[in-house]
Amino acid sequence: MSNPIHLQLAQELGLELRQIERSALLLAEGNTIPFITRYRKEVTGGLDEEQLRRLAERLDYLHNLELRRTEVRALLEAAGHLSPELDQSLAAATTLQAIEDLYLPFRPKRRTRAQVARDRGLAPLAERLLSRQVGAQSPDEAAAPFLNEQLPTTEAALGGARDIIAEQISETAQVRQAVREATRRSASVYTSRKPETPDDQGTYQHYYEFREPLAALPPHRILAINRGEREGVLRVDVEANHEAFMATLQRRYAPGSGWVDELIRDAIADGYRRLLAPAIERELRAELSARAEQHALTIFAANLRRLLLQPPLRGRVVLGIDPGYRTGCKLAVVDPTGKYLAGDLIYLHQPDRARETMLRLCQRWGVQVIAIGNGTASREAEALVAALIKDSLPQLHYTMVSEAGASVYSASPMARDEFPTLDATERGTISIARRLQDPLAELVKIEPKALGIGMYQHDVDQKALAARLESVVESAVNYVGVDLNTASAALLTYVAGLNSRVAKALVTRRDAEGPFRSRADLKQVKGLGPKAFEQAAGFLRIPDAVDPLDRTAIHPESYGVARRLLARFGAPSEPVSMITPRIKTALGSGTPALSALAAELAVGEPTLTDIIEQLDRPGRDPRDELPPPLLRADLLKIEDLEAGMWLKGTVRNVVDFGAFVDIGLKQDGLVHVSELADRRVRNPLEVVQVGDQVDVQVLSIDLPRGRIALSMKKRPSGIQP
């Protein structure tokens, strides 16, 4: 019989049951998602990485749901509360919220008003009133059996019973769900400014008097409102038709006109205002925040992935510049492999000497491109570089590089280990230069949330943010693959199956015994067991290996198939590059030929397709298919801009309300979501991603605030950027 969770997942995700079952088994066996995605396509039916991550997350949620269901059932049974009806409702619950709603009436509580009344023996009276078992008794007659020293009057007894009824109805699962859905559907969020709290920059001016339906509130506004409330600037209320909701409950529980119905209606009104409405408001705001955070995490993840996968600028000697006024501009020259060659310090208030120093460094080391950090004083440093290129080094180009996280890296133990004799500022400058040569290899050394991507990153759950961004880094590293003989320990840590301890062991072995000659050498590294080897081997490349298969993404488990394939179409002494054209020619007839060859070689078609692709393009870096970094030779100043100008730029950040584009100035321009395309754009990521090179038109320039409004809408025919 199939696992109910697997059946549910198949329906939810629109996948075949066997795909769910096989993928779940692979995950349970400790296989990593990058490994499953690339090397177990036949098993999963070709699920991509996003599908597998969604499956894994949902599988984890449903397992936790079952654990909580079992835990709550045991608690209710132990306390004697588990009726057949409650057990049935518990079994039918499909969310953690539904289970908690069912458990709420029985959860141990602090001493509420209702609990005090129960301790005084008023639970039976409340039950009689709620079930109309008082007959024709008057209030005094109904309360008489419960009067004592603690409850000397009818009013005291009935008041305690009213408190119990108020809490009981407010904690009924069906009531909470009905009110929750009605509020979610029809309520609005209203924000106002707290006059006693300053907002000197007008950060939250948009929300001083703001109202929007709960269901329509976009994620970035939710996070902005939350921050304004947390900083004490905004007061936030959820406005709903409480009177109508309350009246509906009163009609349901107290439709009559006698004193008992009147008491129950009073209890419902009290419970609704005091208990139910505030609780539902808290739940819905938490739900809104969770939804907004998930959306923000999606934006962060998309931006980070594109940032990490920016094309490298290989084979160039780079001069990195970390601009600064008081402490000067730090310089660092690195060779094409990222090795530190030389450094220096220049001051912007000494332009002649600064140019001489840069010219000397560029000529001494053959600098081919300059990377300028985009922080404080970057505009002045750019002017200096542009003048140097114009006057003395016309063959040189420069580009602005985001220096986000450079200071975090420079002060890290990793940076100290890498450059023990240099100070933090020098390490940071080297990082700026290197991230132009190979963004992925350098940026993995920095905590992802320090890279300046997305918005509101400090307003989301930090644990969830770290986990999500960690998975993105892992995905990007394994997508590209790693040179086993040059990769840092930081980069190796993200390879599927490896951890920081094994990554350090690989580097130690490499430093002590020289470069790895084959993937088989990995098995000699202490701590790297068979499972880790299986997961990692295909993502670790050795570009100059004797065995050409070790240079590719072909997994060692498929070497036998690859060799049989090569033998089928070529001679043992022939290079692979001569054999692969024959293979492609033989498969020119398409799927039937591929199927026949796969059957002959006893391998799945997806794996065979991957093997052929790798043999045809060994060591392919998918980043090379993207446009290279945009290099400049002249300086653009904000004063040079005019409305209507067309410029080329690079997308630096994508947020809900648009995209920030680097057009060669210190400050990025904003393309509002309404200006991203001629059509309506709901999600900016549908149009642009970090790293895209785009043509933009200047709409307006706000010089005092340094703001530039841009547009990507189609330009009239014949106009060139």
Average the pLDDT over 159-172 and give the result. 96
Is residue 287 located within the same domain as residue 327? no
Are 175 and 249 contacting, i.e. CB atoms less than 8 angstroms apart? Answer: yes
pLDDT at 465: 84
Q: In what side-by-side order are the strands of the sheet with 369-373?
A: 340-346, 329-334, 318-322, 369-373, 397-401
Query: For residue 342, what is the enclosing H or E element?
Result: strand 340-346
Q: Report the CATH number that the domain containing residue 452 is assigned in CATH.
A: 3.30.420.140
- Dig out the tokens for 558 from the structure: 């498929």
Could you tell me what percent of the chain has a pLDDT over 90?
71
SS3 content of the chain, % helix, strand, coil (to 5): 55, 10, 35
Average the pLDDT over 492-497 and give the result. 96
Hey, what amino acid is at 162?
R
Identify whether 427 is part of a domain.
yes
Is the pLDDT score of 258 beyond 60?
A: yes
Is residue 323 located within the same domain as residue 249? no
Average the pLDDT over 418-424 and give the result. 91
Domain range for 436 is 318-478+489-501
Is residue 342 located within the same domain as residue 295? no
Is the pLDDT score of 590 beyond 80?
A: no
What separation in angstroms does the CA of 684 have from each of 339, 436, 468? Answer: 38, 26, 20
**Which one is predicted more confidently, 268 or 204?**
268
525: three-class secondary structure by DSSP: coil
Is the pLDDT score of 261 beyond 80?
A: yes
Are 349 and 297 contacting, i.e. CB atoms less than 8 angstroms apart? Answer: no
pLDDT bin (cut points 50, 70, 90) of residue 552 is very high
Q: In what side-by-side order are the strands of the sheet with 209-213?
A: 209-213, 188-193, 234-239
359: three-class secondary structure by DSSP: helix
Identify whether 114 is part of a domain.
no
Hey, what amino acid is at 97?
Q
Q: What's the CA gap between 176 and 676, in Å, rounded? A: 43
Query: For residue 103, what is the enclosing H or E element?
Result: helix 96-103
Is residue 336 located within the same domain as residue 413? yes
Identify whether 484 is part of a domain.
no
Q: What's the CA gap between 460 and 482, in Å, rounded? A: 32
Is residue 262 located within the same domain as residue 337? no
pLDDT at 37: 96
Is the pLDDT score of 45 beyond 70?
A: yes
Is residue 289 located within the same domain as residue 327? no
pLDDT bin (cut points 50, 70, 90) of residue 720 is very low
Residue 558 gets which letter from DSSP? Answer: G
Given the structure tokens 């004592």, which residue do they identify?
148
Is the pLDDT score of 548 beyond 80?
A: yes
Identify whether 143 is part of a domain.
yes
First to last CA, the chain: 64
Question: Which string of DSSP letters, residue by residue, matches 132-161?
Answer: T--TT--HHHHHGGG-SSS--SHHHHHHHH
Could you tell me what percent of the chain has a pLDDT over 70?
98
Is residue 328 located within the same domain as residue 459? yes
Is the pLDDT score of 716 beyond 70?
A: no
Is the pLDDT score of 343 beyond 90?
A: yes
pLDDT at 718: 44
Each residue of 294-330: pLDDT tens digit?
888 888 888 899 889 999 998 899 999 999 998 999 9
- In b/e form, how buried is each residue of 302-326, taking b as 16+ CB within 10 angstroms? bbbbbbbbbbbbeebbbbbbbbbee
Query: For residue 235, what is the enclosing H or E element?
Result: strand 234-239
Q: Among the three residues 245, 267, 299, which one is the final residue of a domain in this structure? A: 299
Average the pLDDT over 433-440 and give the result. 93
Identify whether 611 is part of a domain.
no
Give the least confident one: 116-130, 363-377, 444-458: 444-458
Are 477 and 491 contacting, i.e. CB atoms less than 8 angstroms apart? Answer: yes
Is the pLDDT score of 715 beyond 70?
A: no
Average the pLDDT over 189-197 and give the result. 91
Burial class (CB in 10 A: 0-12, 13-18, 19+), 518: middle
Identify whether 511 is part of a domain.
no
Is residue 93 located within the same domain as residue 159? no
Is residue 158 located within the same domain as residue 52? no
Q: What's the CA gap between 162 and 172, in Å, rounded? A: 16
Q: Report the CATH number that the domain containing residue 21 is assigned in CATH.
A: 1.10.10.650
Average the pLDDT over 439-445 and give the result. 91
Hey, what amino acid is at 501?
R
Q: Report the CATH number that the domain containing residue 702 is assigned in CATH.
A: 2.40.50.140
Each residue of 664-708: pLDDT tens digit?
777 789 999 999 999 999 889 989 998 888 999 999 988 887 789
Alpha-carbon dihedral sign for residues 535, 540, 541, 547: negative
Average the pLDDT over 74-80 and give the result. 94
Query: For residue 606, what is the enclosing H or E element?
Result: helix 605-616
pLDDT at 62: 94
Identify whether 197 is part of a domain.
yes
Each residue of 457-487: pLDDT tens digit?
777 888 888 888 889 999 999 999 999 999 9
Q: What's the CA gap between 664 and 710, in Å, rounded? A: 13
Give the least confident one: 73-77, 198-202, 399-403: 198-202
pLDDT at 721: 42
Is residue 331 located within the same domain as residue 275? no
Q: β-strands 669-672, 318-322: how paired?
A: unpaired
Is residue 497 located within the same domain as residue 348? yes
Average the pLDDT over 145-154 and give the result. 94
Identify whether 651 is part of a domain.
yes
Is residue 386 located within the same domain as residue 339? yes
Query: For residue 91, what is the enclosing H or E element?
Result: helix 84-92
Report how far Cα 689 is from the mean position of its chain's Cα atoms.
Answer: 15
Are 465 and 459 contacting, i.e. CB atoms less than 8 angstroms apart? Answer: no
- Compute how many other C-beta atoms are within 10 angstroms of the C-beta atom of residue 455: 21
Q: Which residues contact 249 (CB under 8 A, 6 or more apart)?
A: 169, 175, 179, 268, 272
Is the pLDDT score of 719 beyond 60?
A: no
Hey, what amino acid is at 109?
K
Query: What's the structural domain count of the chain?
Result: 4
